[in-house]
Amino acid sequence: MSRSTRASGRRSAPKGHRSRHKAHRARSASKAIGLTLVSALIPGSGFVMGGRTKLGAFVMTLVAGLLVIGAYIALTNRNSIVELAVDPSRLLIATCAVVLLGFCWICIVVSSHKLLRPVSVSATGRLAGSLVVGLICFAIAVPTTVAAQTVMAQRDLVGNVFISENNSKSATRPKVNKQDPWANTPRLNILLLGADDGVGRTGTRTDTVMVASIDTKTGDTKLISLSRNWMRMPFPVDSPLHKYYPTGFWDPSLGNVEQSEFYLDAMYRNIPAAHPNALGPSDNMGADVLKVSAGEAMGLKIDYYMQVNLAGFEQIIDALGGITVNINYKVPIGGDYRGPGSADDTLPSRYLQPGPNQHLNGHDGLWFARGRYGLSDPSRQERQRCTIHAIVNSANPTALVTKYKEIASAGKQLLRTDIPQEILPAFIELGIKVKTAKVSNVDLDKTKNFPTGKNPDYQAMREIVRKAIEPQTQPVASTPSAGTTKKPTTGKSSTKPTPPPGGTQDLSDACAYHPTTP
């Protein structure tokens, strides 16, 4: 074979290759656009229709494999997803993977259209094709960007709020088996703090102090509210703080009078200032002090704390789209009561009016929880419990998906805790149980045990708590007859259901609509 013949054969090969691709091209611009849409919905199909069968089959097989693996993990190994959601390093990898998949998808769409469009096409057809491909690429890029931003928001939240055990200090945090944190913990006790460090405050006071005692098997939760004006808060005998306050947190030299600087809500600020590092190294000594003292007062071992900055509390409610509560009496917004006979009171700017199923934004939700002017402290505690109940009910999948970036941003500014990153997967699993379990309030019997805050009967309250959380071996009520119907919790009732002193009450009943005078 002559050199010219061989050269001619080599030059003719590309022409044959192009002709095979040409045979698979669409006959019109509109058909090419339609096939491009199909290739966007089924990645790889455009290559098959354009004559690149092997490449198309590979891409389609790869996509199908990824979908099958994802479905398998979601259905059979939910723990892996939970661990991914709370591991900053894995979240960073997930972000890169989302961006890469979105980029590859766009490349497949553009390449498929180039293979499918006619060789000869008018300027109008070329413009229409370009516009459609651009819109498809935009439709892919937007959710990819949102997904990447959401994953990064989660990583930012986890990294800023839940610090790794090796990178944080706590004087009271328990040592647990990270593989099975609740193996030796039938009940998990968490101290919930509302820190009012807003404008006008010279320091932080914990106006809200609650203990959530959670059954780690069922998720059933008991909420115990501690009054902000309790004095003589105790410390265990083996605590270093017991030597400073052997009869509780108060000053005996001042006599048996109200001592506002020795109230429960002053401990967070005053004890660390007076006795720094008394409990040992800590990132939040005030919270550790309250964990030790509240645990002794209630007869519980407090495992962790979660502190909420009330000044930013409304952000989380707004991020959730608001909360729905029943308002049983007028609740003040603002106002400052200076004491009996004082002429310096600041009147509330307005009141939240009574009514069932009131949807509140962040600002009003905050004041529903903290409004106090002219109202009793127990009524405020009850509204705080109802606010927590409403937030749990508002955290539905739709709100979490559509508002997650806002929720994560608010949470980063709102929350402080000693829960380490390493056990977050177990906490999330437990939180899912709590969402669907029974949440009830433990009545500490104010009339008998703390008619004032000067000398509460902590021993009596410890006994109430013990009876409330210990396993029930006998039924506490008779089984309703077949004809009995459960009373709706959101309908109007003439009387407020009240538990017996020292008893428990389901928050769905306690927070129902039953207009009363607080």
For residue 285, the number of C-alpha atoms closer than 13 Å in the C-beta half-sphere is 15
- The type of residue at 28 is S
Query: What pLDDT was estimated at residue 478?
Result: 40
pLDDT tier for residue 492 given thresholds of 50, 70 and 90: very low
Query: What string of DSSP letters covers 7-71?
Result: HHHHHHHHHHHHHHHHHTS-SSHHHHHHHHHHHHHSTTHHHHHTT-HHHHHHHHHHHHHHHHHHH
Going 328 to 334 to 338 to 342, the CA torsion angle's sign is negative
Q: Output the pLDDT for position 481.
A: 38
Q: What's the pTM value of the predicted model, to 2 decimals?
A: 0.71
pLDDT of residue 35: 87
Provide mean pLDDT across the span 15-39: 69
Residue 479, pLDDT > 80, answer: no
Answer whether residue 381 shows pLDDT above 90. Answer: no
Instruction: From 432, 415, 396, select the one nearest 216 (Cα to Cα).
Output: 432
The whole-number average pLDDT for the span 379-386 is 83
Residues 199-235 pLDDT 10s:
444 457 788 899 999 999 999 999 999 998 999 999 9
